[in-house]
Amino acid sequence: MPRIEIELTSSKEDGSWTWRALGAREPRGSLDGALLVEPAAVGDVLRVETDQFLDGMTVTAILPPRDKRSSPVLLELLDNAGEEPDVTTRLVGGKRRRDHEASGGERKPRKGGRSRDARGRSERKPQGEGRDERNRDARGRSERKPQGEGRDERNRKGRGGRQGHDDAPTAPKAPRLRPPRTHRNAAVKALPDEQRLVGRILLHGGIPGLRAEIARQNEAARSAGEPEIPAEILLTLGERLQPGLHAAEWRDRAEAAEAGLAEVDLRDLRSVVVAAESGARGDEARSLAERLRSGLAERVEREHEAWLAEVVRVLGEGRVVRALRLSSRPPKAGAPMPRDLLDRLAEAAAAGMTADTGQDRWGTMLDAVASSPVHERVVPAGLPAEPNKDLLALVRRFSLRVPAIAAAFGVEPAPAPTNRRRRRAPAGH
Residue ranges and CATH numbers for the domains of the chain are 3-63 (2.40.50), 182-292 (no CATH), 339-415 (no CATH)
The mean pLDDT of 344-370, rounded to a whole number, is: 91
Report which residue type is found at 40: A
Question: Would you tell me how many other CB atoms lie within 10 Å of the CB of residue 66?
Answer: 9
Q: What is the pLDDT of residue 100?
A: 47
Q: What is the pLDDT of residue 29?
A: 83
Q: What is the pLDDT of residue 92?
A: 65
Distance CA 307, CA 324 (A): 12
Q: What is the pLDDT of residue 429?
A: 41
Burial class (CB in 10 A: 0-12, 13-18, 19+), 320: buried
Q: Which residues pair with 20 in a beta bridge?
A: 7, 28
**Nearest 5°: CA angle at 215, between 212 and 216?**
85
Q: What is the pLDDT of residue 344?
A: 92
Of the given ranges (36-40, 82-86, 171-175, 393-397), which has the lowest mean pLDDT?
A: 82-86
Which comes out higher in pLDDT, residue 217 or 112?
217
* Residue 47: DSSP 8-state: E
Report which residue type is found at 314: V
Report which residue type is found at 107: R
Burial class (CB in 10 A: 0-12, 13-18, 19+), 374: buried
Question: Would you tell me how many other CB atoms lie within 10 Å of the CB of residue 31?
Answer: 22
The mean pLDDT of 380-393, rounded to a whole number, is: 90
Distance CA 368, CA 162 (A): 10
Of the given ranges (4-13, 247-256, 367-376), which has the lowest mean pLDDT?
A: 4-13
For residue 396, pLDDT beyond 60 = yes
Mean pLDDT, the chain, as a whole number?
Answer: 77
- Nearest alpha carbon to residue 11 among 34, 37, 35, 40: 40
Q: What is the pLDDT of residue 321?
A: 93
**What element of type H or E holds 30?**
strand 28-31
For residue 115, pLDDT beyond 50 = no
Q: Between the CA atoms of 56, 57, 58 and 61, what dihedral angle is there, to the nearest 10 degrees?
A: 180
Helix (H, G, I), strand (E, B) or coil at 304: helix
pLDDT band at residue 81 using 50, 70 and 90 as cut-offs: low
pTM across the whole model: 0.52
For residue 23, pLDDT beyond 50 = yes
Q: What is the pLDDT of residue 141?
A: 46
For residues 61 and 35, the answer to whether their CB atoms sit within 8 Å is yes
Of the given ranges (24-33, 157-166, 376-385), which has the lowest mean pLDDT?
A: 157-166
- Nearest alpha carbon to residue 18 among 9, 7, 5: 9
Distance CA 191, CA 188 (A): 5
The mean pLDDT of 8-17, rounded to a whole number, is: 83
For residues 6 and 59, the answer to whether their CB atoms sit within 8 Å is yes
Distance CA 268, CA 175 (A): 10
Percent of the chain with pLDDT over 90: 30
For residue 361, pLDDT beyond 90 = yes
The mean pLDDT of 289-316, rounded to a whole number, is: 91
For residue 123, pLDDT beyond 70 = no
Q: What is the pLDDT of residue 162?
A: 41
Radius of gyration for the alpha carbons in the chain, expressed in angstroms and rounded: 39
For residue 62, pLDDT beyond 90 = no
**Nearest 5°: CA angle at 222, between 220 and 223?**
65
Percent of the chain with pLDDT over 70: 70
The mean pLDDT of 246-274, rounded to a whole number, is: 90
Q: What is the pLDDT of residue 320?
A: 92
The mean pLDDT of 38-46, rounded to a whole number, is: 82
Which comes out higher in pLDDT, residue 11 or 419?
11
For residues 368 and 376, the answer to whether their CB atoms sit within 8 Å is no
Cis previous bond, 227, omega within 30: no
Helices (H) and strands (E) in the chain, counts: 13, 5
For residue 150, pLDDT beyond 50 = no
For residue 119, pLDDT beyond 70 = no
Of the given ranges (62-71, 88-97, 227-236), which has the lowest mean pLDDT?
A: 88-97
For residue 132, pLDDT beyond 70 = no
The mean pLDDT of 26-54, rounded to a whole number, is: 76
**What element of type H or E holds 363?**
helix 359-370
Of the given ranges (17-21, 67-71, 284-288, 323-327), which has the lowest mean pLDDT?
A: 67-71
Q: What is the pLDDT of residue 3?
A: 80
For residue 241, pLDDT beyond 90 = yes
